[in-house]
Amino acid sequence: MRISSYLAVALLEASAALAAPSLEATRVEARTSKHASKRPHHPVAPKHCGRPFPSSPDRKKVCYVNSHGHGKDDSDYILKAIKDCNNGGHVVFSEDTKYTIGTALDLTFLKHIDLDIQGTIQFTNDTDYWQANAFKQIFQNATTFFQLGGTDVNVYGGGTIDGNGQVWYDLYAKDIYTLRPILFGTIGLHGGVISDLKLRYSPQYYNFVANSTDVVFSNIDIAGASVSTNIAKNTDGWDTYRSSNIVIQNSNINNGDDCVSFKPNSTQIVVQNLVCNGSHGISVGSLGQYIGQVDIVKDIYVYNISMSNASDGARIKVWPGISSALSGDLQGGGGSGAVSNITYDTMSIANVDYAIEITQCYGQKNLTLCNQFPSNLTISDVSMRNFKGVTSTKFDPIVGYLVCSSPTVCSNINLENIDIVSPSGTNLYTCGSIEGIENEVNCTTVNKGGN
């Protein structure tokens, strides 16, 4: 009996020794409060794309993501939990846990899965690694830390995703050709809801939605300015690209570029109930950047937007028909396509440079050259209505800029119930090459080019 007892103790000690390599991770997990969140319900309202969204069945299995702690890369734990719970499961990033990601993650294989982010996910600041390994997208210089795609994917939980952006803001100030990752890459997702998240300190855009359909973004909080003299640039809230039936709603965005931007081949999109601060407005474009490509943006409804401390409120920006350069890392012009059936309905502005801007000379400072080579991209059936507020002092007494490169490429642009004034009380617009616009707004200057 005594020998058996000794053997039992020895076996227990041996088992503990074998388990030792994972003990640290187990302890980290044990300190956290483990529970799965209930999936939130965010109705698409009041506007809708007109096409129903697919249903998402309940998940039958729960997987908890472990963490190494101490800033070590948790990508192995994250991939394991996702693979274990893919096709019908619920993955939990535990509350009060900070997860570190130092490896580019291709998550485009997801099916019928919920990602419940309660804690904090932060990407490493290894700029050399990310420039070499982030996923290169096919638009402009876009790269992403990860690619989230597949079928029927929900992401929520109330937690934070942090892009560690400061090192990127400082690096970009030294080298404008730095490839800065986008914080949240929705790439090839068909059916899903991304909601109840805090997105912080993105190196570039906060969200890039590409090649996706039937996706709703709701209750997203975006913020993260630079703490140095180097400004956080190109930090768009959302950019949509080659995607349709997308809703972006009920969110707060504090950023330094477009609040939302509809890039080429964005169709059937609703943006509603947003508070935007510090941005470049809700923008169609830029479009017509690449010769030989046809850019289509249509069936867009923007509703109930609060816009403050911004360069623009509602904006349509198109490259001219000749090569132009906005900056060293952003050049283009000569592409074709069409913008049609665009509605901006109900916008409140405060301290915004241009309440409304339409230009087809994006990136071209030589207006004579822009007029000689008008845009190959048409703009038609645009409605802007129910705007109110006061612009900034930047262009006072001008409150808006409505200029096409030729009257043959712009038609049926209508403004109604626009109650916008400058700080000095004027409501003047720079107008040009848009037939009939002088009957709808107070045009003080006729300009044949763009800005």
Neighbouring residues of 56: CB distance < 8 A, sequence distance ≥ 6? 39, 112, 152, 154, 191, 192, 193
The amino acid present at 166, given as its one-letter code, is Q
The amino acid present at 134, given as its one-letter code, is A
Catalytic, out of 41, 48, 190, 280? 280
The amino acid present at 403, given as its one-letter code, is V
Identify whether 280 is a catalytic site residue: yes
The amino acid present at 140, given as its one-letter code, is Q
Q: Residues 383, 352: contact at Cβ < 8 Å?
A: no
- Provide the sign of the torsion angle of the four alpha carbons 277, 283, 289, 294, taken in this order: positive
Q: In the structure encoding, which two tokens stand for residue 68, read together?
A: 């190494």
In 124-206, where do the E strands start and end? Answer: 135-136, 143-144, 146-156, 160-162, 181-182, 184-200
* Closest CA relative to residue 418, chosen from 300, 314, 301: 314
Beta bridge partners of residue 401, listed in sequence order = 357, 430
Q: Residues 222, 248: contact at Cβ < 8 Å?
A: no
Beta bridge partners of residue 300, listed in sequence order = 269, 342
Give the ranges where 137-284 is alpha helix by DSSP (H): 166-174
Q: What is the rounded CA–CA span in Å between residue 146 and residue 109?
A: 12
Q: What is the rounded CA–CA span in Å between residue 260 and residue 271?
A: 8
Q: What is the rounded CA–CA span in Å between residue 257 and residue 285?
A: 13
Torsion of the alpha carbons at 221, 162, 310 and 229, rounded to the nearest 10: 150
Integer-rounded Cα Rg, in Å, for the chain is: 25
* Closest CA relative to residue 232, chosen from 163, 296, 286: 163
Q: What is the rounded CA–CA span in Å between residue 283 and residue 291?
A: 21
Q: What is the rounded CA–CA span in Å between residue 9 and residue 15?
A: 10
Torsion of the alpha carbons at 381, 406, 428 and 338, rounded to the nearest 10: 30
Q: Residues 260, 271: contact at Cβ < 8 Å?
A: yes
* Residue positions annotated with a catalytic role: 280
